Chain A
Amino acid sequence: MSEVALPREEAHPRRFPVGWMVAALVALAVLLPYAAPGMFGWAKSYPATWIVPISDWLKAFLYWLARDATFGLFTFKDMTRFVSGLFGHALDVPKALLSTGITLGDEDGAFHIPRLSWAGLIAAVTIWSYLLGGARLALLGFVGFGYILVFGQWDSAMVTLSQVIVAVLSGVVGGILIGILAYRVPRIEGAVVAALDFMQTVPTFAYLVPLVFLVGVGPVSGMLATILYAMPPMVRVTLMALKRVPPELDELARMTGCEPRQALWKVLVPSARDDLLVGVNQVIMLTLNMIIIAAMIGAGGLGFDVLNALRQANGLGKGLEAGLAVVALAIVLDRMSRALVEMRPVHGPAAQRRRQLFWLGLVVLIGFTALSFVVPALEKLPNEYRISTGNMWSDVVSWVNINMFATTDAIRTFLLLYLLVPVKTFLIGFPWLGLVAVVGGGAYALGGWRFALGMMALIAFIPVAGLWERGMTTIYLCSISVVIATLIGLPLGLLGSRSERMHAFLGAMCDTLQTLPSFVYLLPVVMLFRIGDVSALVAIVLYAMVPAIRFTDHGLRRVPPSLQEAGTMAGCTGTQRLTKVELPYALPEIMLGVNQVIMMALSMLVVSSFVGTNDLGKQIQVAISQADPGKGLSAGLAIAFLGILADRMIGRFVAARRQRMGL
């Protein structure tokens, strides 16, 4: 960051050379602890006596919330009980429909109403997919749900699906309502946007810790965590969508004498339909991502199968099967909801056909379910028709281990010896005061004293809260994977911007990579590189690479043709044009991509603590199993602060760049 800023300091040569002073201070703070460890040892490793017991404070606060906090009429505990009861009942409905069915009466003479038949559901999904997106989508829906059935994942998948349904409905409805409120009341808007910014930088895991503590382990707290995680984008999308409704439509509502309620529900919200549906798609994907992770706190379903496999020594084959079922569910739901966004209203025979298909799907669903009263095989597919590839996958895993061990192990050892371990050692041994000073110097160059103070406070949280070693491990894994992801993503994005075919291919690839829940990445990675930092690194790079590709491609495509022509006419070679014209122009956009990479890397980092890293994510994981909310929250905060730090610094840089170019 500091190199970037130097030119700006040189722009004011006549003033007192504050910039050089700052640079000198930073250098002193970094070098002195190395030069004179006796005198400045306190600046190198943070003295244990200076650690502020933030974890304990947070723990005490949460205990207070859970035991004593009261809103006058009811206590905080009453509220959490009420909320979890409410969602528990809400979950019963889709669970009965999809997973358990309903059993009436006592044990003898009990009457069982079957769950929705698998045959009916697959047929209905296929028909509705056809209605939404034609034959290709229908095939995808059929194959996706067919896989889940045939490979024996149906029961788990339906548990997950019923949680997804409740979480998506609550997330969408809640998000729209909060979004409307923020749109209507400008005073609330600022607070809501600030809260959204914060919530989106807090890693997924950090939600789990206090929830386990306040609500307890189980499907409901898993679902609540998922709703908390998936709702913020819906709020943001709603706010944006409502603001994007043409002002003329608002005027129309007023000129026709709409009352505020009519204006909202008859004009504004329906006109924002397309944007809102994009938000729904996002909520679905985030929900699926989180509900799998929430298996950690007892959400069950497919996530539990994946988690269980990761915990067992040779369960990897089963885990892959469940992981693929997650992938199938994710892709089908994603493509169906996207097709819904694309669907435009039509009139006449086409509209009638749509209605017919919709009803046909429903009739088939109910028909098969009714049949399953008589034919139980339609409710639950008999075992002999199922295929398990668990053994095959286990064989694949052993084959990989036997035949590719030499290669993967060589890669692993090389990475560890020459990259990971040296960087890790260097960073953990780095003077804490030096780190704070480096961040402060960079932030000063980007945004002045006040900005620098804020950023220094964020980074200082790590040593002050006593999280130095785990925090630095997080920083080390994050920075290496961000560098690698960017190094892979940039050239790919560049290729994408040069050719339409590559653009289409990368688009499809990124879509699929983004559809996969983060948890799923861990399975193949562990298979190849076993437990450890290398596995985490590879998983993070794969997961976080997407924005680097997307933003580079997009940024380069946005370079105005006139600028490219100007470069060509000035006699640039292709390479010169790229480095002197296009890349500088696209740099702000690319940096926004890097920013996204950092955010995704941070969130994946926490998930990847499952494969044996010893970072802040690990602390959260430990906190969940030990039910120590203080520790988990402080680690979560540390990660959130790192995210905010990166976000603000890059944001400043991009804004300054854009301003200079007059964009």
Chain B
Amino acid sequence: MAMVSLAPDTASSSAKVRAATDAPAALICRNLWKIYGANAEAFLRENPMPTHAEVRAAGLFAAVRDASLEIRQGEIFIIMGLSGSGKSTLVRCLSRLVEPTGGSVFYEHQNLLRMSPAELIQVRRHKMGMVFQNFALLPHRTVLGNVAFPLEVQGMPKEEREARALKMIDLVGLTERAGYYPRELSGGQQQRVGIARSLAVEPALWFLDEPFSALDPLIRHEMQNEFLRLQRMLSKTIVFITHDFDEAIRLGDRIAIMKDGAVIQVGTAEELVLNPASDYVSAFTRHVARAKVLTAGGVSVPVTPGEALGATVPARALVAEVAEVVLTSNLPAAVVDKNGMVIGKLERANVIANLVGGVP
């Protein structure tokens, strides 16, 4: 937190990475398929791994193809893809808003796909929250009524649920507006209501479906900061959908990139930038501000024994954070791991190449 004044976004993102790497998986999906069309289930049973051509030949359409993911407790997991890539369908399969055609979804060691409707209602009432792209606020209810809605559905007494809802409204800074109706609020405020509502049941698993896409760029940035602030307080397990790679980098611990219904790569932003699995991935990463993604450790080069090194920078720090130190020094900087061991060096040329976005 000491670095907040210098670069708040990057400081928080390094905090996230620490939280997530060794946590156990909370939500797991294996070989998930969603195929639309007549008799899709029978088709998938006969062809467990159909190709694009086979699906098309059967007159069907595969929105999600063989997706396997492990989402860790407390991490922000981003599912990123262009429109039509199947990201929305995938997240709806994870919450069973859409019934998957094949595969399995495990949450806390229970297969969601085997649950009865009644069990599913209980899981959704107590374990899941979801934020929608177009807010999905109920027009006939006030802010308070909207936020208290999930609690009302559970049958919580009025006083209790309103007290809890007010706490959530306070959390997103809308206490003054609790009596307003959604149409009396700006887009950003409406989505704050959506966020407060999704948190009202204190879910462990938080789905956000392109929550900031419908907002102006300026508001979007503000809301992203707000989101990170909330996550630092709450440490939910988050599945976050976006089509905006910059947003994915800013918010995500790990990112899954989807194309034509399939997950083509999962990794941290740095892994995606340094080792793109395909041309499709590198097309996204090419225009990224690399200095804000790559860490000193990731781009360091081996030290020649006996070489004179200047300042010391931590391996986990982003290139952008250490740029000033490296550039103002005549000597290469020493990159040290968390135990203080020198694991490499960072030269000026190295930093400059990443700052201007070229390929090193």
Q: Judging by beta carbons under 8 Å apart, are B138 and A267 in contact?
A: yes
Binary contact readout B214-238 vs A (1 if CB under 8 angstroms, 0 otherwise): 0000000000000000000000000
Q: Tell me if B306 is interfacial: C-beta within 8 Å of chain A.
A: no
Judge if B142 is at the interface, Cβ distance under 8 Å: yes
**Interface assignment of B136: CB less than 8 Å from any CB of chain A:** yes
A246 near B136 (CB under 8 angstroms)? yes
Q: Is B140 a contact partner of A271 (Cβ separation < 8 A)?
A: yes
* Contact with B132, one of A252, A262, A346, A348 (Cβ below 8 angstroms): A252
Cross-interface CB contact of A270 among B97, B138, B181, cutoff 8 Å: B138
Query: Across the two chains, which residue of chain A brings its CB closest to B129?
Result: A255
Closest B residue by C-beta to A254 = B97
Alpha-carbon gap, A345 to B132, bound state (A): 23
Establish whether residues B128 and A255, one from each chain, have CB atoms under 8 Å apart when the complex forms: yes
Taken together as a complex, chains A and B put the C-alpha atoms of A248 and B97 apart, in Å, by 11
| A residues near B125, Cβ cutoff 8 Å | 256-257
Residues of A within 8 A of B129 (CB): 255
How many Å lie between the Cα of A257 and that of B132 in the bound state?
A: 16
| Interchain CB contact (< 8 A) of A252 among B130, B139, B183, B184 | B130
Once A248-B134, A259-B121 are accepted as A-B contacts, the answer to whether A346 and B97 lie under 8 Å apart by CB is no
Per the 8 Å Cβ criterion, residues 326-366 of A in contact with B are 344-348
Identify which of A251, A252, A344, A347 contacts B142 (C-beta below 8 A): A347
Cross-chain contact B121 with A347 (CB below 8 angstroms): no
- Of B134, B135, B141, B150, the residue contacting A256 (CB under 8 A) is B150
Partner of A271, one of B124, B139, B142, B183: B139
| B-side contacts of A259, CB under 8 Å | 121
With contacts A248-B132, A262-B153, A347-B179 taken as known, whether A255 is within 8 angstroms of B139 at the C-beta atoms is no
Q: Is the pair B153, A270 in contact by a Cβ cutoff of 8 Å?
A: no
Q: How far is the CB of A247 from chain B (nearest CB, A)?
A: 9
Q: Is the CB of A271 within 8 A of B121?
A: no
Pick the residue among B121, B128, B133 that contacts A248 (CB under 8 A).
B133
Contacts of B141 in A (CB 8 A): 270
Cβ of B33 < 8 Å from any Cβ of A? no
Contact of A249 among B133, B136, B153 (CB under 8 A): B136
Chain B CB count within 10 A is highest, among A248, A262, A266, A267, for A248
Q: Which of B224-280 contact A (CB under 8 A)?
A: none
Interface string of A481-520 (1 = CB under 8 A from B): 0000000000000000000000000000000000000000
Q: How many residues in A have their beta carbons less than 8 Å from beta carbons of B?
A: 22
In whole Å, how far is A265's beta carbon from the nearest beta carbon of chain B?
11
The CA-CA distance from A257 to B118 in the complex, in Å, is: 9
B175 at the interface (CB under 8 A from A): no
Given that A252-B132, A346-B181, A347-B179 are contacting pairs, would A257 and B138 also be in contact in the complex, using a CB cutoff of 8 Å?
Answer: no
Question: Roughly how many angstroms separate A252 CA and B209 CA in the complex, as a whole number?
Answer: 12
Given A346-B181, A347-B184, the answer on whether A257 and B153 have CB atoms closer than 8 Å is yes
Measured between alpha carbons, how far is A344 from B184 in the docked complex, in Å? 10
Assess whether B212 is interfacial by the CB under 8 Å rule: no
Q: Does B122 contact A (CB under 8 A)?
A: yes
In the complex, whether B154 has a CB less than 8 A from a CB of chain A is yes
**A257 CB contacts on chain B under 8 angstroms:** 120-126, 150, 153-154
Q: Does A273 contact B (CB under 8 A)?
A: yes
Q: Check A254 against B124 for contact (C-beta < 8 Å).
A: yes
- B138 near A249: Cβ-Cβ < 8 Å: yes
Q: Are the CB atoms of B97 and A347 closer together than 8 Å?
A: no
A273–B140 alpha-carbon span in the complex (Å): 8
Q: In the complex, are the beta carbons of A248 and B136 less than 8 A apart?
A: yes
Known contacts: A255-B95, A270-B140, A271-B139. The answer to whether A348 contacts B179 by CB under 8 A is yes
CA of A15 to CA of B57, assembled, Å? 33
A273 CB to nearest chain B CB (Å):
6
In this assembly, does B149 line the interface, its C-beta being within 8 Å of a C-beta of chain A?
yes
Identify which of B126, B130, B133, B179 contacts A255 (C-beta below 8 A): B130
Query: Closest Cβ of chain B: how far from A351's Cβ, in Å?
Result: 8
Residue of chain A at shortest CB distance from B92: A251
Contact with A along B103-133 (1 / 0, CB 8 A): 0000000000000000011111110111011
Q: Nearest residue in B to A247 (C-beta to C-beta)? A: B136
* Bound form: Cα–Cα A254–B128 in Å: 11
Interchain CB contact under 8 A, A347 and B153: no
Task: Tell me, yes or no, whether A258 is within 8 Å of chain B by CB.
Answer: yes
Q: Tell me the complex Cα distance, A347–B176, Å.
A: 12
Nearest-Cβ distance from residue B115 to partner chain A, whole angstroms? 12
In the complex, A255→B135 CA distance in Å? 13
Task: Determine whether the beta carbon of B140 is less than 8 Å from that of A251.
Answer: no
Are the C-beta atoms of A344 and B181 separated by less than 8 Å? yes
Specify which chain A residues have a CB less than 8 angstroms from the CB of B181 in the assembled complex: 344-347
Minimum Cβ distance to chain A for residue B208 (Å): 12
Contacts of B97 in A (CB 8 A): 251, 254-255
> Quick check: A256 and B139 within 8 Å, CB to CB?
no
Chain A positions 247-300 with a Cβ under 8 Å from a chain B Cβ: 248-249, 251-252, 254-259, 262, 266-267, 270-271, 273
B residues near A252, Cβ cutoff 8 Å: 130, 132, 136, 138
Known: A266-B149, A345-B181, A347-B180. A255 touches B124 (CB 8 A): yes
Residue of A nearest to B178 (CB): A347
From 452 to 490 in chain A, residues with beta carbon under 8 angstroms from any chain B beta carbon are: none
| Docked pose: A267 CA to B146 CA in angstroms | 11
Min C-beta distance of A113 to chain B, whole Å: 37
Give the distance to chain B from A275, nearest Cβ to Cβ, in Å. Answer: 12
Q: How far is the CA of A566 from the CA of B119 in the complex (A)?
A: 61
Which residues of B lie under 8 Å from residue A254 when comparing CB positions? Answer: 97, 124
Is the beta-carbon distance between A251 and B153 smaller than 8 angstroms?
A: no
Contacts of B122 in A (CB 8 A): 257
- List of A residues within 8 angstroms of B121 by Cβ: 257-259
Residue in B134, B140, B207 whose beta carbon sits within 8 Å of that of A345 in the complex: B140
Q: What B residues does A348 contact at CB under 8 A?
A: 179
Give the residues in chain A near B179, CB-CB below 8 Å. 347-348
Chain B residue nearest to A258 (CB atoms) is: B153
Docked CA distance A249–B136 (Å): 5
Chain A residues with CB below 8 A from B153, complex form: 256-258, 262, 266
Chain B residues contacting A255 (CB-CB under 8 Å) are 95, 97, 124, 128-130, 207
User: A residues within 8 A CB of B154?
Assistant: 257
Least CB distance from B129 to A in Å reads: 8
Give the one of A257, A262, A347 with max B CB within 10 A: A257
Chain A residues lying within 8 Å of B152, measured Cβ to Cβ, are 266
Q: How far is the CB of B215 from chain A (nearest CB, A)?
A: 15
Shortest C-beta distance, B198 to chain A (Å), equals: 8
Closest-CB distance, B68 to chain A (whole angstroms) = 23
**In the complex, which of the residues B125, B149, B183 has the most CB atoms of chain A within 10 Å of its own CB atom?**
B149
Which A residues are CB-close (under 8 A) to B180?
A: 347
Contacts of A347 in B (CB 8 A): 142, 179-181, 184
Rounded to whole Å, the gap between the CB of B84 and the closest CB of chain A is 17
Query: What separation, in Å, do the CA atoms of A252 and B134 have in the docked complex?
Result: 11
Report B-chain residues with C-beta under 8 Å of the C-beta of A246. 134, 136
Q: Which residue of A lies closest to B127 (CB)?
A: A257
Contacts known (A248-B133, A249-B136, A347-B179); A256 close to B149, Cβ less than 8 A: yes
Q: Cα distance A417–B189 when bound, in Å?
A: 71
Residue of A nearest to B139 (CB): A271
Question: In the complex the two chains form, what is the Cα distance from A258 to B151 in whole Å?
Answer: 10
Known: A251-B132, A273-B139, A345-B181. 14 other contacts (CB 8 A): A249-B136, A252-B130, A255-B97, A255-B128, A256-B125, A256-B149, A256-B201, A257-B120, A266-B149, A267-B138, A270-B138, A347-B142, A347-B181, A348-B179
Cross-chain pairs A/B with CB under 8 angstroms, 29 sampled:
A248-B136, A249-B136, A251-B97, A255-B95, A255-B97, A255-B124, A255-B129, A255-B130, A256-B124, A256-B125, A256-B201, A257-B124, A257-B154, A258-B153, A266-B152, A266-B153, A267-B138, A270-B138, A270-B139, A270-B140, A270-B141, A271-B138, A271-B139, A271-B140, A344-B183, A345-B140, A347-B142, A347-B180, A348-B179
* Interface, chain A (partner B; CB < 8 A): 246, 248-249, 251-252, 254-259, 262, 266-267, 270-271, 273, 344-348
Q: List the 8 shortest-distance A-B pairs measured between CB atoms, nearest first.
A: A257-B125, A248-B136, A257-B124, A256-B150, A347-B179, A257-B121, A270-B140, A255-B130
